[in-house]
Structure 1
Amino acid sequence: MLNYQFENIEFLWLLLIIPFLVVWQWFKNKQQSPELKFPGASLLAAQGANWLAKLRPLLYALRLIAIALVIVAMARPRTSEENSKTKSAEGIDIVMAIDVSTSMLSRDLRPNRLEATKKVASDFIQERPNDRIGMVVYAGESYTQTPLTSDHKIILNTMKDIKNGLIQDGTAIGMGLATAVNRLKESKAKSKVIILLTDGENNAGNIDPMTAAQLAEEFKIRAYTIGVGTKGTAPTPYAYDMRGNLMYRNLPVNIDEELLKNIADQTGGKYFRATDNDKLNEIYGEIDKLERTKLQELKFYSYDEKFENFALAALILFALELLLRFTVYRSFI
């Protein structure tokens, strides 16, 4: 009964009458119990009668237990199960704009910048089940890899397909940002966010990055910008060998950090620099904390009524007492 809840718990106070009934019956038996004698009866019959007489108080015990069970049933014992469900009270729409230029294959991050980005971005997506997320990829031009969706399995599957060489090479930061803005401008979400990642300088496309940033500001979209790449030099692809494999050599890492800071400042976001895998992971973790979806938790309770069990047990005990009283103990009472 420790796991039961009682809808009408005040009825349990009635259990206090049980001790009084026990005392009352004890006094009653003490005053009325005659001394039984069996003149002329056989020894076996006398022993049997004495044995039954000694067990006679069990009849009253059965009645008291039945009364107690009825009282418990009146208190309506039940078990409950709590279920909770969360729903988004303030949704966030996020578009991730990822640079897929050839320089993203540089090996200053493991195994390279692009694969490290895909791994961390996938973890980020899985940690945000209540948000809609879309994806834009860009190099010399840009396109929408996945529109905004709450089906994160689609996002994660398309993330695996992202690779270098799908579009013309280059780094069109302005076009990547503008395409992400275009995906978010019609959004009705309370918060709209772009996470733009690049490892270079704007050297392609026909849209100025700051013009795209002004558009983002107009549509109240925050842009978090990430420059990925170590400081100094890094093993960077520079040509293909006779077998078509990329050849690497240490080349300077040139990231237009001033531009990325200006884009973030223009839109109310923040700029980050990821020089290794751990730092990249920390950056996405910080963005995750900065852009948290407000949730409402709804709790549901399901109840399983148990009073029938107690009432049935009481009925069985009452029936057993009556059966014994009018059969085995009929001649003793």
Structure 2
Amino acid sequence: MFELSHPFALLLWPLPLLVRWLAAPYHQRESAVRLPFFEALARAAGVSLRDGAMVVAHKRWALAAGFVIWTLVVGALSGPMRLGPPQEITKATRDVILAIDISGSMDTVDFPGEDGAAQQRFAAVQDVVGAFLEGREGDRVALIVFGSRAYVQAPLTEDLATVSAMLAQTEVGMAGPHTALGDAIGLAIRTFEASEIEERLLILLSDGNDTASRMSPVNAAEIAKENGVRMFAIGVGDPDASGEDQLDMGQLSDLAERTGGQAFFASDSEALDQIYAEIDTLTPREEDSISWRQKQPLAHYLLLAAVCVGLVLLMSAAMRMPRKDAA
């Protein structure tokens, strides 16, 4: 497929014809010998007399060559380009932050897997979140891990493979043994500050109470709401436990509802997987695609062809010029 970047240049094409039609003929004076008996000499030679002017006849091949050269030059000025096949780039329209609890209680082996066997809580979360990331094409995703402190494991990026790799390298206890829900929400808010995308989604996953936050979880949720952050909280712990390890679903529900989100309780791996699917349903992703074609300029080929035709024209004219014999 081809296109012209300056199509109005084609209006120059009839310019030589207009010049030839409108401009006055070229005049050139020549020296001559005046003969008093010129008329008698002309009659004797059988030549009809005309005014003292002569129009030089241009050869057709030269006119055709000039026409080709001018056409090639005008074509080059129009900026012809060859278009490659269309390419589409999906632009991120939503930012998602995964805040994953890696406190000491996430090492507990009591979470039913798909086969019914008990497995480590964090291992089950890694499997489900890894599958969740595979369907995030078109979203920018960040990973925050928190225990006694909250840390950005992976900043907002469209490189989902890197986020998955960082999640796979994460281990329980890396951020301390306690749970800092408020700090995790606050760090997510600061991470979102670097984004210009309006739709911001925070998915918070924890299995215990807030016991180590320097920022109140309620205050953090209110600030998140003011910054347009919608939070979904997922509990994976044991609501019947006691102390720090007890899962407070009431607190998680309150935090999520303050931001316009929801809270869920995941009793096993299958339920956790369904929760992520439900979050997708509640917050459908809008795709914003950018289409473009690679452009290859062709003007230099036309100019090269014009130069070649001009050289052939000059060589032909030089060969037709009469040669003087050497004395």
Q: Which letter does structure 1 place at the counterpart of 2:126?
A: K
Deviation at 1:121, TM superposition (A): 0.8
CA spacing shift, 1:296–1:100, aligned 2, 3 Å: closer
Q: Which letter does structure 1 place at the counterpart of 2:104?
A: T
Counterpart in the other structure of 1:99: 101
CA spacing shift, 1:118–1:256, aligned 2, 3 Å: same
CA distance in 1, matches of 2:126, 2:250: 25
CA distance in 1, matches of 2:199, 2:228: 8
CA spacing shift, 1:298–1:264, aligned 2, 3 Å: same
Counterpart in the other structure of 1:241: none
Counterpart in the other structure of 2:211: 203
| Secondary structure of 1:294 counterpart | coil
CA spacing shift, 1:252–1:148, aligned 2, 3 Å: closer
User: Contact (CA 8 Å) 2:93, 2:138: kept in 1 or not?
Assistant: yes
CA distance in 1, matches of 2:190, 2:290: 35
Counterpart in the other structure of 2:90: 87
User: Contact (CA 8 Å) 1:108, 1:276: kept in 2 or not?
Assistant: no
User: Contact (CA 8 Å) 2:103, 2:147: kept in 1 or not?
Assistant: yes
Q: Percent identity?
A: 30
Q: Gaps (5+ residues) in structure 2?
A: 1-84, 114-118, 294-327
Deviation at 1:290, TM superposition (A): 2.0
Normalising by structure 2, we get a TM-score of 0.58
User: Contact (CA 8 Å) 2:95, 2:199: kept in 1 or not?
Assistant: yes
Deviations 1:111-167 (A, max 9, x none): 211011111111111101100000100011111101000111110110111111212
CA distance in 2, matches of 1:152, 1:188: 19
CA distance in 2, matches of 1:252, 1:219: 30
Counterpart in the other structure of 2:60: none
CA distance in 2, matches of 1:299, 1:144: 33
CA spacing shift, 1:124–1:193, aligned 2, 3 Å: same
Deviation at 1:276, TM superposition (A): 0.8
CA distance in 1, matches of 2:143, 2:183: 14
CA distance in 2, matches of 1:177, 1:300: 39
RMSD: 2.7
Counterpart in the other structure of 2:181: 173
| Secondary structure of 1:177 counterpart | helix
Q: Which letter does structure 2 place at the counterpart of 1:260?
A: L
Deviation at 1:296, TM superposition (A): 5.0
Deviation at 1:217, TM superposition (A): 0.7
CA distance in 1, matches of 2:197, 2:182: 24
Q: Which letter does structure 1 place at the counterpart of 2:98?
A: M
| Secondary structure of 2:110 counterpart | coil
Normalising by structure 1, we get a TM-score of 0.57
| Selected match of 1:116 from 101, 118, 124 | 124
Q: Gaps (5+ residues) in structure 1?
A: 1-81, 234-249, 302-333
Aligned positions, number: 205
CA distance in 2, matches of 1:199, 1:151: 28
CA distance in 1, matches of 2:275, 2:238: 15
Counterpart in the other structure of 1:325: none
| Secondary structure of 1:269 counterpart | coil
Aligned counterparts, 1:283-298, within 5 A = 283-295=275-287
Counterpart in the other structure of 1:279: 271
Deviation at 1:229, TM superposition (A): 2.5
Counterpart in the other structure of 1:147: 155
| Secondary structure of 1:287 counterpart | helix
Aligned pair 1:265/2:257, yes or no? yes
User: Contact (CA 8 Å) 1:229, 1:276: kept in 2 or not?
Assistant: no
CA spacing shift, 1:143–1:85, aligned 2, 3 Å: same
Q: Which letter does structure 2 place at the counterpart of 1:138?
A: F
Counterpart in the other structure of 1:221: 229
Q: Which letter does structure 1 place at the counterpart of 2:90?
A: K
CA distance in 1, matches of 2:90, 2:236: 34
CA spacing shift, 1:175–1:296, aligned 2, 3 Å: closer
CA distance in 1, matches of 2:289, 2:176: 47
